[in-house]
Structure 1
Amino acid sequence: MTALMIQGTGSNVGKSLLVAGLCRAARRRGLSVAPFKPQNMSNNAAVTEDGGEIGRAQALQARAAGLMPVTDMNPVLLKPESETGAQVIVQGRRLTTTRAADYATLKPRLMGAVLDSFTRLAARHDLVIVEGAGSPAEVNLRTGDIANMGFARAAHVPVILAGDIDRGGVIAQMIGTQAVLAPEDAATVAGFLINKFRGDPQLFDDGYSFIQARTGWRGFGVLPWFAQAHLLPAEDALDLASGPRTGGVKIAVPMLSRIANFDDLDPLRAEPGVELVMVPPGHALPGDARLVILPGTKSTRGDLAFLRAQGWDIDILAHHRRGGRVLGICGGYQMLGRTIADPEGIEGPPGESPGLGLLDVTTVMTPDKRLTRTRATHAATGEPVEGYEIHIGRSEGPDRARPFAHVGTLPEGARSPDGRVEGSYLHGLFTADTFRSAYLADFGVPVSGLAHAALVEDTLDALADHLEAHLDVSAILGCAR
């Protein structure tokens, strides 16, 4: 098997995009390449070809590699449900929910699944490009590690360390990481690269040479800031931002504390006639929004309480009274109903919460998670929609008689009698260009002709070009073994 691993000096240094760009570059060299991340922590998940779920970043990397996503690309996915606990997904399926303090005792049991997935993936491809998680400098987490050096050494995969110069202190990031690593771990590092440089890279020549001299590691280049990164799905909710323009039809989205599958919003953000406003905690929803979207969440009742704590429930009801429209997706759909019951305590403490009452449906959480790719027809426009479902809970009630869409002959979602409040379990619905255009036309947004899938493909090509122009990509790929 041939593989290499990108680790980072910290979280959010750009590992996910680096792996995506390297996958596209390797593919353009004629290699069969696949992405792999042993352990990911994200509520932004994708449904795979084999009926499981993985991190959305690995789905994007698979696309860069020209592959459909499969569960082996991300064998362990942690989906935070609270400040101290997370759902543990192993090879696409829920294993358990555990507290952060107890996860360390679980990790040794997961290495076997990680190595099994990696071995299967490596057997099918010329090259596997692995993404680490967080940083190997977190040596307090080294015992039982499956995400960084623990995996690299178990699978005999060389490591390239990426540093983020944009946040400052990149020299200390690199040298400090080497200083705290055990000698055996440091020996797996084949070299380093510097990411997210703004300005003239030559200004860092002395710093770059200093890192090489102090660490003895080979440098593979300094990568300038990739300005088109916002056109690709974000890995972390911390990367969410409002749209790049003002003056279009305003769509407001409250940033829930456990917001999930937020790349649902990417096609709207790219539309030239839309101003997408991501509303952070502590801020009111804008009164001039035409549409409020309640996004998905990993903890529906928990985030409903969070929404009320921000006063957003009052804002949404006032928006509705003014004639505004509301769309709930997945957990947001559940919030719009009359009640949400979780009798078995699947997402948190057992109990029942009153919803916003804008849709006449009730939701009951059940242990079975629905994971499926779905093709549907939007009821109001007749346009085709292709998305995916990834949720627990079933919603029923009179407003289901007016579905948001039809899956074959079956109803999907719900609409209020006046049509101004809608809910759907379909993630990714706005990636369908004709549906998105028809839906936005109802708000007076001109048809833009935006082809979202082509935009993502073009951006992945531009990312690979960016890496080729500034890094020694051939030497990076040549480190694989």
Structure 2
Amino acid sequence: MTRDFTNFTTLMVQGCTSDAGKSVMVAGICRVLARRGVQVAPFKPQNMALNSAVTEDGGEIGRAQALQAQACYLPARTDFNPVLLKPSSDTGAQVIIHGQAIGAMQATEFHDYKKVAMNAVLQSHQRLQNTYSAIVVEGAGSPAEINLRNGDIANMGFAEAVDCPVVLIADIDRGGVFAHLVGTLALLSESEQARVVGFIINRFRGDVSILQPGLDWLEAKTNKPVLGVVPFLTNLYLDAEDAISSTQTEMADDGLADNMPLKVVVPVVSRISNHTDFDALRLNPSVDLQFVPINQTPPAADLIILPGSKSVISDLRSLKSNDWDAHLKRHLRYGGKLIGICGGYQMLGHTISDPSGVESDQPADHESGFGLLNIQTKLAPHKQLKQVQGQFINLGNAPARFQGYEIHCGTTTSDAEPMLQFENGETAGSISPDQLILGCYIHGLFDTPSACDALLNWAGAQHGNAVDLDVIREQQLNRLADCLEETLPATFWSKFAGSGNLRQDTA
């Protein structure tokens, strides 16, 4: 049984599994609708991720929703992701409501808090409905996770509350796609099954005609249409919601790649946050970027970058127990360069204290840092969220412009030379006397081409050849939208409220 949703203002994309392609599918659908002139907005009721972004009004949302906002040609706003969970342990997370952290909760506590969280979700959705003619919603994980269904706000619980249709997506590249779709549908209630209006099979390689017998069987078995089979898009780059890619995406280098690319190593700490900071390096043909598990000896590198962390003291201790103190000192003795970003910046100093228990269960927790920068950090409950821009200073070359954002708890006092100057004249960050070590709180440090080139040149690159992430995102969003327009039927697009019949490119 399928309900007749003739037209709708809200459509929800749910996945059979995590990483089925929900975030990408929502971004692509949003871009198609936006190009057609539809006033469309993205929405994710609840996200659990350590990759986040700062909105213009100083709130925090999932990184994927910031990308989806760009797909709609909109600035990011907190209503696009009203509930964000940032894991700090296997059983606990910082809870962010409408862009602001309200505290840490264990999983059982948050389960009890879901009624309050659902009110926040419905408030945001209503505000979006009052402003936009179409809303494309991303689910979380799978709607068939039985243990999470009571009080669900992320999947069918939300869809039932707002009475919206659902498209179910499965990744055929994983294998078992028909079992995923039929099994997920079977585990839903009768009313939930009825609101599933069709399936999308994602990341297919090969001749679709070979798949056709399976599609016919699926439609006969479920009485649901297969809306489309989306091909595997090689080297599709879009910001990751949370997972780290194990391979370096290859972008065209136009013959500019160095014979000797700059070797960059990033240790993958347990609670690594905003690893999208390194996308501009991962996409750069002049850079060989490697994410390295902390229990492995890092390879020889020109540059090591300590990333952000949601549990700085815990991850610092893990790095120490895996000999990274010695690894970093050896790297510096050989003339290598070192950068710390956000939590990684804090780790480079003399001490990190957590008197209020912001990130630690232990009262007045305290840990010695690597002692490589003359700084000290004190964590505090209030989270600092802001977008920033300015220029580098004291790097030994002409000042380069940068822009980015800050997401951190606590303050750092520094007796070192600053490395940044904001537009208001304030300075920030630190640089060591020997110019081998930099540290600051700025995420997105490599995203601005001029800033990336300056940092790569400082690190020893023969040529910067920085990529422009905004340009790449636009290219990839349009590539994805072109694919979905060809793959999904015209009847799918016409059901959205406010949808036109003709493609109207606005970019």
Say yes or no: TM over 0.5. Answer: yes
| Identical-pair percentage | 45
Q: Return the alpha-carbon distance in structure 1 between the equivalents of residues 312 and 19 of structure 2.
A: 26
Q: Report SS of the residue matched to 1:367.
A: strand
Which residue is equivalent to 1:100? 107
1:63 aligns with 2:79: no
Q: Return the alpha-carbon distance in structure 1 between the equivalents of residues 450 and 56 of structure 2.
A: 24
Q: Return the alpha-carbon distance in structure 1 between the equivalents of residues 454 and 166 of structure 2.
A: 47
Alpha carbons of structure 1 residues 355 and 467: separation in structure 2 relative to 1, 3 Å = same
Which residue is equivalent to 2:88? 81
Which residue is equivalent to 1:426? 442
Which residue is equivalent to 1:373? 387
Q: Which amino acid in the other structure matches residue 405 of structure 1? A: L
Which residue is equivalent to 1:235? 241
Q: Report SS of the residue matched to 1:374.
A: strand
Which residue is equivalent to 1:469? 486
- 1:313 alignment partner, one of 318, 325, 330: 325
| Counterparts of residues 112-191 of structure 1 (less than 5 Å) | 112-191=119-198
Q: Which amino acid in the other structure matches residue 19 of structure 2? A: N
Q: Which amino acid in the other structure matches residue 432 of structure 2? A: S
Q: Which amino acid in the other structure matches residue 237 of structure 1? A: A
1:441 aligns with 2:454: no
1:269 aligns with 2:282: yes
Which residue is equivalent to 2:402? 385
**Is the 8 Å Cα contact of residues 74 and 91 (structure 1) preserved in structure 2?**
yes
Q: Report SS of the residue matched to 1:187.
A: helix
Which residue is equivalent to 2:262? 249
1:305 positional shift: 1.6
Q: Which amino acid in the other structure matches residue 232 of structure 1? A: L
Q: Return the alpha-carbon distance in structure 2 between the equivalents of residues 159 and 455 of structure 1.
A: 30
Alpha carbons of structure 1 residues 309 and 211: separation in structure 2 relative to 1, 3 Å = farther
Map Cα deviations across residues 316-368 of structure 1 (whole Å, 9 max, x no partner).
12101211110000000000001100011110123101101110101000111
1:451 positional shift: 2.8
Which residue is equivalent to 1:415? 431
1:406 aligns with 2:428: no
Map Cα deviations across residues 219-239 of structure 1 (whole Å, 9 max, x no partner).
11111112132x221112343
Alpha carbons of structure 1 residues 64 and 88: separation in structure 2 relative to 1, 3 Å = same
Q: Report SS of the residue matched to 1:40.
A: strand
Which residue is equivalent to 2:315? 303
**Is the 8 Å Cα contact of residues 452 and 466 (structure 2) preserved in structure 1?**
no
Q: Which amino acid in the other structure matches residue 209 of structure 1? A: D
Q: Which amino acid in the other structure matches residue 27 of structure 2? A: A
Question: Where is the helix percentage greater, Structure 1 or Structure 2?
Answer: 1
Q: Return the alpha-carbon distance in structure 1 between the equivalents of residues 234 and 322 of structure 2.
A: 33
Q: Return the alpha-carbon distance in structure 2 between the equivalents of residues 304 and 458 of structure 1.
A: 38
- 2:298 alignment partner, one of 285, 302, 310: 285
- 2:35 alignment partner, one of 28, 34, 54: 28
Which stretch of structure 1 is more off in the superposition, 39-48 or 91-100? 91-100
1:247 positional shift: 4.6
Map Cα deviations across residues 279-324 of structure 1 (whole Å, 9 max, x no partner).
124321112x000001111111111122223333321121012111
Which residue is equivalent to 2:5? none
Which stretch of structure 1 is more off in the superposition, 389-398 or 196-205? 196-205
**Is the 8 Å Cα contact of residues 157 and 480 (structure 1) preserved in structure 2?**
no
Q: So what's the TM-score if we normalise by structure 2? A: 0.91
Q: Report SS of the residue matched to 2:161.
A: helix
- 2:344 alignment partner, one of 317, 324, 332: 332
**Is the 8 Å Cα contact of residues 363 and 393 (structure 1) preserved in structure 2?**
yes
1:194 aligns with 2:209: no
1:210 positional shift: 1.4
1:139 positional shift: 2.2
**Is the 8 Å Cα contact of residues 228 and 459 (structure 1) preserved in structure 2?**
no
**Is the 8 Å Cα contact of residues 249 and 275 (structure 1) preserved in structure 2?**
yes
Which residue is equivalent to 1:451? 468
**Is the 8 Å Cα contact of residues 282 and 310 (structure 1) preserved in structure 2?**
yes
Which stretch of structure 1 is more off in the superposition, 42-51 or 463-472? 463-472
Instruction: Count residues in correspondence.
Output: 476
| Counterparts of residues 47-58 of structure 1 (less than 5 Å) | 47-58=54-65
Alpha carbons of structure 1 residues 158 and 397: separation in structure 2 relative to 1, 3 Å = same
1:437 positional shift: 1.4
Q: Report SS of the residue matched to 2:235.
A: helix
Which stretch of structure 1 is more off in the superposition, 240-249 or 150-159? 240-249
1:479 positional shift: 4.3
Segments of 5+ residues of structure 2 without an aligned counterpart are: 1-7, 252-258, 498-507
Alpha carbons of structure 1 residues 180 and 449: separation in structure 2 relative to 1, 3 Å = closer
Q: Which amino acid in the other structure matches residue 457 of structure 1? A: E
**Is the 8 Å Cα contact of residues 337 and 357 (structure 1) preserved in structure 2?**
yes
**Is the 8 Å Cα contact of residues 243 and 275 (structure 1) preserved in structure 2?**
no
Q: Which amino acid in the other structure matches residue 452 of structure 2? A: R
Map Cα deviations across residues 247-299 of structure 1 (whole Å, 9 max, x no partner).
51101101111111111101111211111111124321112x00000111111
1:429 positional shift: 1.6
**Is the 8 Å Cα contact of residues 44 and 262 (structure 1) preserved in structure 2?**
yes
Which stretch of structure 1 is more off in the superposition, 426-435 or 328-337? 426-435
Q: Report SS of the residue matched to 1:174.
A: helix
1:243 positional shift: 5.5
**Is the 8 Å Cα contact of residues 242 and 276 (structure 1) preserved in structure 2?**
yes
Q: Return the alpha-carbon distance in structure 2 between the equivalents of residues 8 and 43 of structure 1.
A: 20
Which residue is equivalent to 2:9? 2
1:240 positional shift: 4.8
Q: Return the alpha-carbon distance in structure 1 between the equivalents of residues 294 and 196 of structure 2.
A: 40
Q: Which amino acid in the other structure matches residue 277 of structure 1? A: Q
Q: Return the alpha-carbon distance in structure 2 between the equivalents of residues 241 and 122 of structure 1.
A: 39
**Is the 8 Å Cα contact of residues 306 and 344 (structure 2) preserved in structure 1?**
yes
Q: Report SS of the residue matched to 1:423.
A: strand
Q: So what's the TM-score if we normalise by structure 1? A: 0.96
